[in-house]
Amino acid sequence: MKFKTKALLTAGLMTVAGFGASAAQAVDLTMYYPVAVGGPVTKIIDDMVQGFQKENPDIKIEAVYAGNYTDTMTKAMTAMKGGQPPQLSVLFSTDLFTLMDEKAIVPIDEIAGPDGKEWLNSFYPAFMENGQVDGKTWSVPFQRSTIVLYYNKDAFKEAGLDPEKPPATWAEMAEMAKKLVKKDASGNVTRWGVEIPSTGYGYWMLQALAIENGQKLMNEAGNKTFFNEKKTVEALQYWVDLSAKDGVMPKGAVEWGTLRTDFLEGKTAMMWHTTGNLTAVKEGAKFNFGVAMLPAKEQRGSPTGGGNFYVFKSATPEQQKAAVKFIRWMTSPERAADWSIKTGYVAVTPAAYETEAMKAYVKDFPQAVVARDQLKHAVAELSVHDNGRIYKIVNDAVQAAVTGTQSPQDALESAQKQSERVLNRYK
Amino acid sequence: MVAAVMSAAEPKATRRRSWATSVNAWLLLLPAIVLLATFTHYPILATLYHSFFSLGRSGPAEFVGFENYHYMLDDDVFWQVLRNNLVFALATVPTSIALALLMAVWVDRKIVGRSFLRLAFFTPTVLPMIAVANIWLFFYTPDYGLLDQFLKALGFAGHNWLGDPATVMTCLAVMVVWKEAGFFMIFYLAALQSIPPELKEAASVEGASRWYFFRRVTFPLLMPTTLFISINALINSFKLVDQLVIMTKGGPNNASSLLLYYIYEVAFTFWDTTYAATLTVTLIAILAAVALTKFVYLDRRIHYQ
């Protein structure tokens, strides 16, 4: 009892003293965090937050997990309009225009302090693209990825293919996929050749195919899209043909959420998925698997993807300073390496790949650097004004095409028309 | 009316008392009125108001008249979700009513295990929609879902049930009927038990067959219940969208999207609040029309007074 009183008194005195020197005051931060892949992501983030708080007892961070990227964005915006915005959040790097239009965020370079510029230059440039507009840096990469091709080496062997030679071109992928399809006695498919997910992130996959075919999907100002260009249509046509003509992919929409299970259960020999799933696949696979860059048509390529840290405008200067401190801690080479090893996401700075932990990991598991190596072919993810609406329009078009409701040409013509109607307001 | 005419002739004391009574009545109504006005009437009026303004993302919101409504009439997705909603209502309302009636008549009779049957029929209603949707999502999952495993055991090919625009609506309708029918059964059961047994005895004395008795006596007497249920089912078919969030997100290509879900998307994914207000006004108008039909037209024709 006595001890307790004493402790309380001391605590009280310390608080009073704390008010004197404002630096010692505890700063509370709320952070919204999106989870897009399987595996214990929330646990990993919680542990990192704990570690940070141990080193910085004057900052308290509450991580709120609000579902996938779209759900988290919804939650953050609702909270903001309700007058209770978070102080920092990881959101789609591509939500930048929407967040700017809503006047929700502050540029990072304005609050990063004197050596901020140097720090921001330490990231992979490909990951910075989506965050830089009007000569300012608005977000810091963290949960970043590219799309990679996962393939089942055992299935390759079984089908008489070289398990060390994943498909390098579109034509090769279709050919190999045909050999990988397995049917039972009554002609039902028990293993598909390849699956590209068409729900949730259909626009992302379409963009990958378009890039490989040498076509950009949007301009830098974020107010023009190129959905009905000939090469975009060809890209979607190839995708549709994989199921409609070649019969190597299931008909209808392929579900993003269950695709990893399909792959792990051997229901498909290859899948296109985010590298963020890598560690979950590694832990779940009962067979040898390989990871490869996406195959090329005219060139290799993948959009980058995933989430960046944003700092909200409504946060107090102290909170903004604390938020930057946290972000710098999270993206420091050791942490970035640790995060990449635990999830499969690409570590955001080259320095992370120079750490001992990362070097040791990559030596045993070379699949871990495929997504990073692909960065030199990577292009900024589709990002325009009114992004949520445009994503929906593209996703609808992709789904219309893969389900056979519309031809790729018609679906993309209609998507372009609708997008122009939305984006005309931003010209 | 009559009371008012009479009160003019009444002495003053009585009039004062009646004034006190009506003040008393209004005071008793006040809490309900305040709540309704704050949470129902004011939001409806505010929604209507906002539907006539521009979004004002860059600059102040401006009065634009019916522009949002023109935009809506031009919006292919709006027409599709409206059509989907009608199809969904047509598929779920009659089926769940028929099923509810069938179940009610069955468990109304004296049979062994009656309570157990009633409980079994009612269970789906008790479950939250989110839980139900997750269970059925597993049923419909291609390849390793329950339905596909069953089909494969019988030698048929599997199907991507929720990924195919041709089947997704039916799949959702089946699930909603399964969930809703038990709830409506309870109403039928109550109505069946309020039918006087003399009618049945009289009919059997007259030698009427059971089917004839059901067709000419039971079913007409259940009409008020049927009306009540059909209105509720119809309104529910516009109100219930939880399953879409879990199972399809309205896809593929809006094939399973419903009006209310589209409103949610417009408001909370696109942040186009004025257009969402416009769509909401449309939804309210539809539901008000349904309710008015019931109160003004159907009620008069159906009740035996």
Is the CB of residue A400 less than 8 Å from the CB of residue A408? Answer: no
Q: Cβ–Cβ of A199/B249 closer than 8 Å?
A: yes
- d(CA A363, CA A382) in angstroms, rounded, equals 33
- The verdict on B149 touching A (C-beta cutoff 8 Å) is no
Residues 6+ apart with CB under 8 A from B266: B272, B275, B276, B279
Per-residue pLDDT, B305: 44
Residue B174: the pLDDT is 94
Q: Which of residues 209-248 of B touch A (CB under 8 A)?
A: none
Contact: B255, A186; criterion CB under 8 Å: no
Q: What is the distance between the alpha carbons of residues A88 and A311, in angstroms, rounded to a whole number?
A: 4
**Is A389 part of the contact surface with chain B (CB cutoff 8 Å)?**
yes
Q: Which amino acid is residue A425, in one-letter code?
A: R
Query: Are B43 and B228 within 8 A, CB to CB?
Result: no
Q: How many CB atoms lie within 10 A of CB A50?
A: 10
- Transcribe A293-320 into DSSP letters: PPPBSSS--EEEEEEEEEEBTTS-HHHH
- Over the stretch A95-139, which tens digit does the pLDDT of each residue have? 998 898 888 999 998 898 888 889 999 999 999 988 988 889 999
Determine contact: B79 vs chain A, CB below 8 A: no
Q: Distances from the Cα of A160 to the Cαs of A156, A167, A185, in angstroms?
A: 6, 14, 20
Judged on CB neighbours under 10 Å (0-12, 13-18, 19+), A16 is exposed
Query: The tokens of B180 are what?
Result: 């809703």
Q: Which two tokens stand for residue A394?
A: 């593209």
Nearest Cα neighbor of B99 from B160, B177, B201, B165 is B177
- Gap between the Cα atoms of A425 and A385, Å rounded: 9
Chain B neighbours among A 249-278 (CB < 8 Å)? 250-255, 258, 262, 265, 267
**Mutation choice for A interface testing from B81, B249, B253, B265 by most A CBs within 10 A:** B253
Distance CA A316, CA B214 (A): 73
**Are residues A134 and A357 in contact, defined by beta-carbon separation less than 8 angstroms?**
no
Q: Are B140 and B172 in contact (CB under 8 A)?
A: no
A369-423 per-position pLDDT tens digit: 999 899 999 999 999 988 888 999 999 999 999 998 899 999 999 999 989 988 8
**Are the beta carbons of A152 and A289 closer than 8 angstroms?**
yes
Tell me if the bond preceding B252 is cis, omega within 30° of 0: yes
Structure tokens at B94: 């009659």
CA-based nearest residue to B181, from B95, B61, B63:
B95
Backbone angles phi, psi at A26, to 5 degrees: -75, 135
Distance CA A295, CA A196 (A): 13
Q: Are B108 and B189 in contact (CB under 8 A)?
A: yes
Burial class (CB in 10 A: 0-12, 13-18, 19+), B96: buried
pLDDT (0 to 100) of residue A374: 93
* Predicted pLDDT at A133: 86
DSSP per position, A189-247: EEEEEEE---SSSHHHHHHHHHHHTT--SB-TTSS-B-TTSHHHHHHHHHHHHHHHTS-
pLDDT mean values, one per 10 residues, chain B (305 residues): 50 80 92 94 92 76 87 90 94 94 88 86 90 91 86 82 89 93 92 89 88 89 89 90 88 89 90 90 92 81 61
Q: Residue A405 is nearest to which of B165, B265, B269, comparing CB atoms?
A: B165
Place of tokens 């990227």: A69
In this prediction, residue A2 carries a pLDDT of 47
Nearest to A403 among B57, B152, B163 (CB): B163
- Give per-residue pLDDT as tens, B123-177: 898 999 999 999 999 899 887 789 988 888 887 877 888 888 889 999 999 999 9
The rounded mean pLDDT for chain A is: 89
Exposure string of A369-407, with b = 16+ CB inside 10 Å and e = fewer, is bbbbebbebbbbbbbbbbbbbbbbbbbbbbbbbbbebbe
Count CA atoms closer than 13 A to A407's CA, side-chain side. Answer: 6
Give the DSSP letter string of A65-124.
E-SSHHHHHHHHHHHHHTT---SEEEEEGGGHHHHHHTT-B--HHHHS-TTHHHHHTTS-
Cα-based torsion angle of the residue sequence A399, A382, A64, B250 in order, rounded to the nearest 10 degrees: -20
Q: How far is CA B154 from the centre of its chain?
A: 37
pLDDT digit string (tens) for A18-46? 444 444 568 899 999 998 776 688 899 99
Q: What pLDDT is recorded for position B158?
A: 78
Backbone angles phi, psi at A110, to 5 degrees: -80, -20
CA distances in angstroms from B78 to A19, B55, B162, B258, B260, listed in the order given: 57, 19, 21, 9, 11
Q: Which of the 8 DSSP states describes residue A62?
A: E
Handedness of CA B259, B262, B264, B270 (dihedral sign): negative
For residues B220-244, one letter each, b for 16 or more C-beta atoms within 10 angstroms of the residue's C-beta and e for the rest, the string is ebbeebbbbbbbbbbbbbbebbebb
| Chain A hits for B163, Cβ within 8 Å | 198-199, 250, 252-255, 403
Pull the structure tokens for residue A373.
């190596």
